[in-house]
Structure 1
Amino acid sequence: MIQFGMPTLIENKTLEDNISLCSSLGLKFIELNMNFPEYQVDELEQTDRLIELADKAGIYYTIHLDENLNIADFNRLVSEAYLETARRSIEVAKALLPLRDLYGDASQPLTLNMHMHHGIFITLPDRKVQMYDRDFDTYMKSFSVFREKCEEWIGDSDIMIAVENTDGFRDYEKKAIEFLLESPKFGLTWDIGHSKATGEKDVPFIMSHKDHLIHFHIHDGSEVPPRNHLALGDGEIDLKERLSLAEQTNARCVLETKTIDALKKTTIWLMEKWYE
């Protein structure tokens, strides 16, 4: 049975508010979002508090790394700061891992979700040039360091980093992701709403690597106009097909709507359409 959880919602001012909602909807986990000031790494390192609150509710956590995480930044001061953020976040995940064993599915690794940072581009009269494409060797050297360090930091812990699609992987990003996927510490997140809103441009790449799918962001969406983060049933996605793939790959699913009302509507859809 799929493990369903919820994202950190901006309407909820505190972790306690998120946990209360999670429990009331019968969900299994919360994906702690490091884009929020209250879930920066120094806050997450207060793991005793996080564990105590989750224990009372019978839930566990996954982690969504800061979307600005840019381990390939050409400024080494910046990239080193992001690497240190990743290291400390992995240590948090290690401390939270026993919650997964108590309240989740021990056959699924605990995940840290990450985006690929596109980097900057230079606009020429006839085209835009992505700097990571121009300096691809330098870009890949950063990912070599990142992969090696993450393998060292994770060690033998049952933790993986899942790379998420957003607005379409660039070609240089696909090469970097394939390099990461050579490591047993990395997998893929399929965000089905982002995928739909961008015309499913990432589907061929994702499906060619579907054996690496370990995490899904589930929300409805449409292509015209491009919309996502809709409640299930409010868009155009073949939700049962996507959920069936999540089940086949034993992937964990975040119901990634952005409002409380949409999340409630989504859980009702699951009860009526998925569990029927």
Structure 2
Amino acid sequence: MKTIDFGMPTLIETNSIESCVKLCKELGLDFIELNMNLPQYQIENIDVQKLKSICEKENIYFTIHLDENISICDFNNGIAKAYVKTVLDTIDISKQLKIPVLNMHMSNGVYFTLPNEKIFLFNQYKDIYLTKLKEFRNMCKKAIGDSNIKICVENCNGYKEFAIEGIDLLLKSNVFALTFDIGHSHSVNGIDEPFINRHIDRLYHMHVHDGNGGENHLPLGIGEINIRERIFLAREHKCRVVLEVKTIKGLKQSVDKLKDYL
């Protein structure tokens, strides 16, 4: 019996909400993760009433992948405020649509390349970095209030030490949680997994796709990842799972393969 909600990402091939919904229903999936890197899912282009109607009519729901460029700790306060406002506006939309998850990347910011090392400015000026993160955390907590929304921080290319400190700070609020991307983890030899395991009680969301070496976002069953083990982890922690492959063909292959892991 299926005990996990499975969803799809927004694909380049499904460039309208109608085509996303059609594919989601065809594949028997539960939700769509709207990607705010795309122009049609910018705040000003989201039609809340239309999405509400879709949810009611089609019996699906949405999660949101925040813009990957978000840099809430930017030293330029104008830039940082714009990104924070984007997140707060997204929280407002999420409350109206009963969206449970906002997926977020942690920006590493700018670095200076010296002869023997890279100096990340967020690490060099960590007091400013952590102060901005704390302010962001508190604003998000206030905006979310008692609604059931989690902002889930995703592992990408290996967390820097300052980012680990920053995520620890965010996790002091119960509105923040973790996304575990199993393909990203595989491609960097699992270096983020000790951190994730230390906070395994905060695991709330997963991105699942196969991988070979550094190659990511492959359909399930054609790579090296132990998908069955990862699906078990999702079930154990009651995570939603985005089948984060990038093509319609790959998504269909992955859905067909799912029965082997459930």
Structure-1-length-normalised TM-score: 0.93
Q: Report SS of the residue matched to 2:93.
A: helix
Q: Are positions 1:248 and 2:250 aligned together? A: no
Residue in 1 that maps onto 2:227 = 239
Residue in 2 that maps onto 1:274 = 261
- 2:120 counterpart letter in structure 1: Q
Residue in 2 that maps onto 1:40 = 42
1:134 pairs with one of 124, 130, 136:
124
Distance in 1, Cα, partners of 2:49 & 2:6: 24
Residue 182 of structure 1, CA deviation: 1.1
Distance in 2, Cα, partners of 1:222 & 1:195: 12
Deviates more, 1:3-12 or 1:54-63: 54-63
Distance in 2, Cα, partners of 1:13 & 1:176: 34
Which ranges of structure 1 fall in alignment gaps of 5 or more residues?
A: 101-109
Distance in 2, Cα, partners of 1:89 & 1:210: 26
Q: Report SS of the residue matched to 2:96.
A: helix
1:9 pairs with one of 5, 8, 11:
11
Residue 200 of structure 1, CA deviation: 1.1
Q: Is the 8 A contact 2:133 2:166 kept in 1?
A: yes
Distance in 1, Cα, partners of 2:155 & 2:15: 28
Report the identity percentage.
45
Residue in 2 that maps onto 1:71 = 72
Distance in 2, Cα, partners of 1:207 & 1:197: 18
Q: Can you list the C-alpha shifts for 1:217-241, whole angstroms capped at 9, x where unaligned?
A: 0000122xx1110000011111111
2:104 pairs with one of 98, 107, 114:
114
Q: Report SS of the residue matched to 1:163.
A: strand
Residue 83 of structure 1, CA deviation: 0.6
Q: Are positions 1:177 and 2:156 aligned together? A: no
Distance in 2, Cα, partners of 1:221 & 1:182: 32
Residue 201 of structure 1, CA deviation: 1.1
Distance in 2, Cα, partners of 1:200 & 1:64: 22
Distance in 2, Cα, partners of 1:205 & 1:137: 22
Aligned residues: 260
Residue in 2 that maps onto 1:199 = 189
Distance in 2, Cα, partners of 1:157 & 1:89: 13
Q: Is the 8 A contact 1:19 1:54 kept in 2?
A: no
Q: Report SS of the residue matched to 1:5.
A: strand
Residue in 2 that maps onto 1:104 = none
Structure-2-length-normalised TM-score: 0.98
Residue in 2 that maps onto 1:105 = none
Residue 171 of structure 1, CA deviation: 0.3
- 1:194 counterpart letter in structure 2: H
Q: Is the 8 A contact 2:234 2:240 kept in 1?
A: yes
Which ranges of structure 2 fall in alignment gaps of 5 or more residues?
A: none
Distance in 2, Cα, partners of 1:185 & 1:28: 23
Q: Can you list the C-alpha shifts for 1:73-122, whole angstroms capped at 9, x where unaligned?
A: 0000000000100010000100111xx6xxxxxxxxx1100000010000
Matches within 5 A, 1:81-96: 81-96=82-97
Residue in 2 that maps onto 1:58 = 59
Report the aligned-residue RMSD: 0.8
Deviates more, 1:252-261 or 1:200-209: 200-209
2:218 pairs with one of 220, 224, 230:
230
Distance in 1, Cα, partners of 2:20 & 2:241: 17
Residue 56 of structure 1, CA deviation: 2.0
- 2:258 counterpart letter in structure 1: L
- 2:261 counterpart letter in structure 1: W
Distance in 2, Cα, partners of 1:41 & 1:274: 37
Distance in 1, Cα, partners of 2:173 & 2:15: 37
Residue in 2 that maps onto 1:103 = none
Distance in 2, Cα, partners of 1:41 & 1:193: 29
